[in-house]
Amino acid sequence: MAKNIRTLEPKALWNHFADLNSVPRASKKEEKVIAFIEAFGKDLGLKTVVDDAGNVIIKKPATKGMEDRTTIVLQSHLDMVHQKNADTTFDFAKQGINMILDGDWVHADGTTLGADNGIGVAAIMALLSSTDIPHPPLEALFTIDEETGMTGAMALQGGMLDGKIMLNLDTEDDDELTIGCAGGVDVTATGDYPAEDVPDGMSSFRIGIRGLTGGHSGMDIHKGRGNANKLMNRMLYQADQKMGLRIASIDGGSLRNAIPRESFATVLIPDSQEATFRQWVATKQTLLKDEHRTTDPGLNLVFEATDTPKQVLGEDFQYDLLRACYACPNGIYRMSPDIPGLVQTSNNLARVIVEDGSYTIMCLTRSSVESEKFDLAEAIRSTFELIGADVEFDGSYPGWTPRPEAKIVKLMADLYRKRYKEEPKVNACHAGLECGILGTNYPKMEMISFGPNIRGAHSPDEKVQVSSVQKFWGFLLETLEKV
The set of catalytic residues is 79, 146
Q: What is the dihedral of CA 428, 432, 438, 441, to 10 degrees?
A: 90
Tell how far CA 2 is from the center of its chain.
24
Asked if 472 contacts 451 with a C-beta cutoff of 8 angstroms, the reply is yes
Asked if 209 contacts 296 with a C-beta cutoff of 8 angstroms, the reply is no
Asked if 33 contacts 23 with a C-beta cutoff of 8 angstroms, the reply is yes
- CB-based burial of residue 239 (10 Å sphere; 0-12 exposed, 13-18 middle, 19+ buried)? buried
E-only strand ranges, 91-145? 99-102, 105-108, 138-143
Q: What is the dihedral of CA 321, 327, 330, 336, to 10 degrees?
A: -150
Count CB-CB contacts under 10 A for residue 302. Answer: 15
Count CB-CB contacts under 10 A for residue 283. Answer: 10
Residue 421 CB partners (closer than 8 Å, separation 6+): none
Integer CA distances (angstroms), 398 to 150, 437, 447, in order: 10, 6, 15
E-only strand ranges, 119-245? 138-143, 165-168, 176-181, 183-192, 195-197, 202-210
Say which DSSP state 465 is in.
E
Count CB-CB contacts under 10 A for residue 408. Answer: 22
Integer CA distances (angstroms), 386 to 74, 191, 230, 325, in order: 46, 12, 19, 11
- H/E segment holding residue 409: helix 407-420
Asked if 147 contacts 140 with a C-beta cutoff of 8 angstroms, the reply is no
